[in-house]
Amino acid sequence: MGRLMLNVLLSFAQFEREIISERTRDKIAAARRQGKWVGGMPLLGYDVTSPGSRLTLNESEAAQVRAIFDLYLQERSLIRVIAELDQRGWNSKKWTTRVGTIRGGRPFTKAMLHKLLTNVTYIGKVRHKHDVHDGEHEAIVAPDVWQRTQASLQKNGRTGGRDVRNEFTGLLRGLLRCLACNSAMTPSHSKKKDGRRYRYYICCHAQKRGWQNCPCPSVPAEEMEKFVVDQIRGIGRQPQLIRDIVDSAQQQSRAQSVAIESEQAELRRNLSKWNTALRNATTIPDPAIDTATHSRVLADLQDQIRNAEQQLTRVTQSLAGLRTTPICIRQAEAAMLEFDAVWNTLATREQRRILELLVDRVDFNGDKGTVAVTFNPDGIGQIDLIVSNAGAQP
């Protein structure tokens, strides 16, 4: 009877949550159909009034929005518009939250500018999923300016540049960073008229904000990759360096084990506490709490227990992996000595996997023209299996 009552209460609690969610979604959809503003980040050109949360025109910001649309129709380039906005000192919408936190007020990026230029709010509309409805607020941009802007954006986006850039993935993707801009560097390429293709790594900050914002926005991919691979080859020629890396990896492994054991003990204590609370709430219900509140308490306890059990399973598996895969210095030395002979026989996917294991990050300093490679001590313990399997292949 206790289990039956618990299941009944949990079913009603789940039903109540789903009903609340459905009514909330229906309320938002109905408000959108009526053209009402239902919240979100404030937009440049508008202010949000507290009573009723209506959008009111901010004349000074509205003039900036109109100028931004005119600039894009004149330049036909997001990067050139961003450069002009930087010269004028124009930033994104700045506002203060209810708790007093200041948000926004940042320089524009390509993504932010594109979002502004494609926002239907500026022509007096509101969007709900794929539907567009007439809004209660005043429009800032004329319909003909809006249409010409969308046509230009669509025309400039037909090249599919993102898919082309991702077709040739670099070995250092996700590892190489521009130290001057504190930004990642993404692989790209260019194709000349004679059919030759040249690969590069481009600073993401320069890609978003313009190349003039980075001292060295692009570097040749082959030279950069060759430099990093040569540094890895140098490890195999220095046995003492391998021993130092393995010792560091072993120390990190022990430190991780201690931290994971502490987390495991904390999860077990929480599970014991929540299970006790669930048993007490099921067998001895509080008469001062109504049925709906009691069911929500039971549902919350069930969710906490389920999440803690899943997290405990992951933590236990991680701890078992650290204990069952010790790093052997002799195996690491043998693997790094074979690295030079096996590297050229590996597929690109396997080469990227080895670099991700061995290298933590690669910092390129465009101001000084230097490259710093930071190795991952944990990866050398896993490199033996990959190199051994590759060397065994015909």
CA distance 79 to 300: 49
CA dihedral (77, 81, 83, 85) in degrees, to 10, reads -170
Q: Check residue 394 and give its pLDDT.
A: 34
- pLDDT top residue among 167 and 150: 150
H helix runs in 198-238, sequence order: 204-209, 221-236
pLDDT in tens, 312-328: 888 887 777 666 555 55
Q: Check residue 352 and give its pLDDT.
A: 79
CATH architecture for residues 34-156: Alpha-Beta Complex (3.90)
pLDDT of 63 higher than 90? yes
Q: Check residue 71 and give its pLDDT.
A: 92
Domain ranges of the chain: 1-32+253-325, 34-156, 161-221, 233-238+329-392
Q: Check residue 159 and give its pLDDT.
A: 45
pLDDT of 329 higher than 80? no
Tell me the DSSP string of 332-377. HHHHHHHHHHHHTTS-HHHHHHHHHHHEEEEEEETTTTEEEEEE-G
Integer Rg of the chain from CA: 29
Q: 37 near 53, Cβ under 8 Å? A: yes
- pLDDT top residue among 294 and 379: 294
Q: 117 near 149, Cβ under 8 Å? A: yes
Q: How many CB atoms lie within 10 A of CB 296?
A: 17
Residue 224 CA: distances (Å) to CA of 170, 173, 202: 10, 12, 12
pLDDT in tens, 364-389: 998 888 888 887 765 554 444 444 44
Q: What is the pLDDT averaged over residues 20-28?
A: 84
**pLDDT, the chain, mean:** 79
Tell me the DSSP string of 296-332. HHHHHHHHHHHHHHHHHHHHHHHHHHHHH-PPPHHHH
Residue 181 CA: distances (Å) to CA of 77, 86, 87, 184: 22, 17, 19, 9
**Which H or E run contains 30?**
helix 2-33
